[in-house]
């Protein structure tokens, strides 16, 4: 594993090493969208590769590589999608490689446009970081009992809005809505003044379960194709007024942003770690043994207009209290059916120290502690024309598996 190397030149710092090989959807110029695999600074054009009949031994309809989302490819199932990835990995390492025989197989990423990689039918957002749930509970309900009684017994979640999930690079307009001013008894209508990011990761469902048939925890990871970075944009002032009793609604549904490359679970396998001890013990359907968490370094930067990138937080996906297998087992325990391309987000990923907090709400402690940027300007929430970028990278000696970035600029409200 450690000695793997590709004949494609790439920097040691690349997120897209030979160990990674994430899948995405790209286009060049006015050509149609198609499936690609990232390697270094380049993309392997899978539509061209399949046209060379290199997969003729497998039951793959070549059309899946020419579609404008990955859903049909993912639906082939892990035995086939893993074999495709391993074949490409071998071809990228062999001296006598069939990929060297055709000049249009490799595309510079700088010449390509990346698109939404999947059609997302349904999107669920969990709330699985103990530190984040504790911080928000302290601010919204008070410091005595920040966690609600259910929190350590089940992975709390809600059904989010799939239609407004966009890829990195698409700007977002500040939402407008109902806000209850301090000390007031009735709401006002204006642009949100507490626009926030949430640093999250999300997993893509790769195998459906039938309605009425729960997925066991032991089988859960067989239903996960891969992961992306996820920014769950949140308007805290709108959220605070609307969220009782049914949870988040318009304070969240205006937009979420994802990274364009889907990193497979197989690429992430070397980064498995044990999660936090769960006490009290969970019910049997949520019990597990072994390493179900993943060591993935995460950070967020804020770039003001004309300014520099300011790193606001650094944390790690390994801190999550509830793991993805538990989230999936819980999601389906009532018989709910998940479909290929559904997206399950982790909830804000915070950590034990203040620098690990994964939202402005926590970093500025509800707007009471301004964050000082390198140019001396202050922020408590995200301002117009600020750019927020999420980064994710799993690394150990000899292996780097990265997610690239999710970069989003905030524009003024379009309302009125
Ligand atoms: Mn969230």
Q: What is the pLDDT of residues 284-304, one digit of tens each?
A: 999 999 999 999 999 999 999
The Cβ of residue 277 has, within 10 Å, a number of other Cβ atoms equal to 7
Tell me, in angstroms, the distance from the centre of ligand 1 to residue 286's CA.
22
The correct CATH number of 23-115 out of 2.30.30.230, 3.30.930.20, 3.90.550.10, 3.30.1050.10 is 2.30.30.230
Q: What is the pLDDT of residue 4?
A: 78
Residue 115 and residue 205: Cα distance in Å, rounded?
19
Every domain of the chain and the residues it spans: 23-115, 123-411
Neighbours of 121 (CB within 10 A): 14
Convert the pLDDT of each residue in 163-199 to its tens digit: 999 999 999 999 999 999 999 999 999 999 999 999 9
In this prediction the pTM is 0.97
Q: Report how far residue 208's alpha carbon sits from residue 230's, in angstroms, rounded to the nearest whole number.
A: 22
From the CA of 198, how far away is ligand 1's center (Å)?
6
404 CA from centroid of ligand 1 (Å): 20
The CA 319 to ligand 1 mean position distance, Å, reads 16
Q: How confident is the model at residue 1 (pLDDT cuts 50, 70, 90)?
A: very low
| Residue 416 scores a pLDDT above 70 | no
- What does the pLDDT read at residue 256? 98
- CATH 3.90.850.10 for domain 123-411: yes
Whether pLDDT at 347 is above 70? yes
Catalytic member of 15, 19, 132, 330: 132
Instruction: Give the distance (Å) from ligand 1 centre to CA of residue 273.
Output: 23
Task: List the one residue out of 83, 96, 114, 50 whose CA is nearest residue 259.
Answer: 114
Across 224-232, average pLDDT: 98
Instruction: Give me the residues near ligand 1 (ion), CB cutoff below 5 Å.
Output: 125, 198, 232
Q: Catalytic annotation on 173?
A: no
Only one residue has tokens 């967020």, namely 300
Identical topology for domains 23-115 and 123-411: no
DSSP assignment of 304-361 equals: -TT---EEEEEEEGGG-SS-HHHHHHHHHTT-PPP-TT-EEE------SSGGG--BHH
Q: pLDDT at position 359, please?
A: 98
- Please provide the average confidence, as pLDDT, over all residues in the chain: 96
**302 CA distance to ligand 1 centroid (A)?**
18
Is the pLDDT at 10 greater than 90? The verdict is no
């Amino acid at each position: 594993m450690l000695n793997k190397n590709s004949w494609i030149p790439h920097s040691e710092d690349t997120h897209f090493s030979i160990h990674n090989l994430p899948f995405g959807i790209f286009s060049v110029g006015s050509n149609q969208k198609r499936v690609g695999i990232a390697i270094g600074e380049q993309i392997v054009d899978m539509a061209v590769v399949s046209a060379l009949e290199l997969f003729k031994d497998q039951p793959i309809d070549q059309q899946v590589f020419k579609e404008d989302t990955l859903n049909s490819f993912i639906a082939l199932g892990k035995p086939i999608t893993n074999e495709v990835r391993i074949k490409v990995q071998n071809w990228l390492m062999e001296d006598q490689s069939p990929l060297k025989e055709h000049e249009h197989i490799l595309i510079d990423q700088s010449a390509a446009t990346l698109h939404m990689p999947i059609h997302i039918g349904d999107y669920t957002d969990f709330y699985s970081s103990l530190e984040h749930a504790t911080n928000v509970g302290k601010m919204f309900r008070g410091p005595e009992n920040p966690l609600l009684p259910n929190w350590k017994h089940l992975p709390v979640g809600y059904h989010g809005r799939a239609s407004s999930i966009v890829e990195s690079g698409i700007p977002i307009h500040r939402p407008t809505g109902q806000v209850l001013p301090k000390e007031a008894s009735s709401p006002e209508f204006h642009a949100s003044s507490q626009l926030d990011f949430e640093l999250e990761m999300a997993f893509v469902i790769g195998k459906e379960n039938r309605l009425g048939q729960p997925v066991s925890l032991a089988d859960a990871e067989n239903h996960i194709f891969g992961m992306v970075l996820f920014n769950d944009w949140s308007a805290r002032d709108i959220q605070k007024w609307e969220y009782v009793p049914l949870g988040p609604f318009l304070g969240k549904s205006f937009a979420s942003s994802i990274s364009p490359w889907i990193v497979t679970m197989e690429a992430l396998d070397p980064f498995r770690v044990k999660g936090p001890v769960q006490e009290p013990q969970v019910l049997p359907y949520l019990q597990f043994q072994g390493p179900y968490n993943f060591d993935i370094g995460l950070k967020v930067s804020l770039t003001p207009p004309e300014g520099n990138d300011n790193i606001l937080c650094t944390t790690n996906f390994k801190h999550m209290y509830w793991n993805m297998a538990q989230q999936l087992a819980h999601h389906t325990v009532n018989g709910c059916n998940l479909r290929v391309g559904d997206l399950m987000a982790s909830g804000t990923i915070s950590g034990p120290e203040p620098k690990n907090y994964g939202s402005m709400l926590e970093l500025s402690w509800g707007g009471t502690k301004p964050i000082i940027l390198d140019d001396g300007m202050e922020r408590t929430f995200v301002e117009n024309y600020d750019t927020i970028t999420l980064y994710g990278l799993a690394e150990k000696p000899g292996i780097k598996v990265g997610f690239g970035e999710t970069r989003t600029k905030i524009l003024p409200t379009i309302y009125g």
